[in-house]
Chain A
Amino acid sequence: EPEVTQTPSHQVTQMGQEVILRCVPISNHLYFYWYRQILGQKVEFLVSFYNNEISEKSEIFDDQFSVERPDGSNFTLKIRSTKLEDSAMYFCASNGRVTGELFFGEGSRLTVL
């Protein structure tokens, strides 16, 4: 069964450092997303990406965040200068059509010290 894969599974970084989280969506999917879940809180939408551009983003997704699809397979989330409050589980998701179900990866846990 096709799946969304995310790396790294866990990353520890110092405050102020740049972090890149990587995702490989399902190969024939066209829509890509990042969500995050702070420990003990609900899952929050960050950004959606289609046709090589951001289609929608939340208030959380400020100038410190960026997304990129550098090649035909990877989808990355970059945090330029991490803050303590960026500590969370980050989930990548994809789907093949706008009404299709979302497929989520297993998440990348980011710990900012």
Chain B
Amino acid sequence: AQSVAQPEDQVNVAEGNPLTVKCTYSVSGNPYLFWYVQYPNRGLQFLLKYITGDNLVKGSYGFEAEFNKSQTSFHLKKPSALVSDSALYFCAVSPSGGYALNFGKGTSLLVTP
């Protein structure tokens, strides 16, 4: 089965510092990987996806993610965190290439001033 794991329940970072939210995947074949963000009382919002091509994927709000096949990772990164980035972040994989996504359990990001 294709799945993702988010090893951290919470990540704390000071505003202005770089942030990383970790995700590892387990797939057979080529993975379709996604990051979504959920703000309080809101639906999930798409940040970025990797299907093929460059290993470094750039997305919304200054976020990027690096696909690393040897480490089976797809970590979300941002060079300089903002307080407004505080939210719940979900990594997801598509087993079928469509949108029946398997989500990770989520990582809560807290950016402090």
Contact = CB atoms under 8 A, between A and B. Distances in A.
Given A42-B105, A42-B106, A99-B51, A105 B43 contact: yes
A103 B46 contact: yes
Contacts of B51: 99
Interface residues of A, number: 25
B98 A42 contact: no
B99 A31 contact: yes
Given A42-B105, A42-B106, A48 B46 contact: no
Interface in B73-113: 90, 92, 96, 98-106
Contact of A43 (B41, B42, B103): B103
Interface residues of B, number: 21
A56 B98 CA distance: 9
A51 to B, nearest CB: 14
Interface of B: 36, 41-46, 49, 51, 90, 92, 96, 98-106
A-B pairs, 3 with minimum CB distance? A104-B43, A101-B46, A43-B103
Given A58-B100, A102-B46, A102-B101, 11 more contacts: A42-B105, A43-B90, A43-B103, A45-B100, A48-B99, A91-B44, A102-B44, A102-B99, A104-B43, A104-B45, A106-B43
Interface of A: 4, 31, 33, 35, 41-45, 48, 55-56, 58, 91, 93, 95, 98-99, 101-107
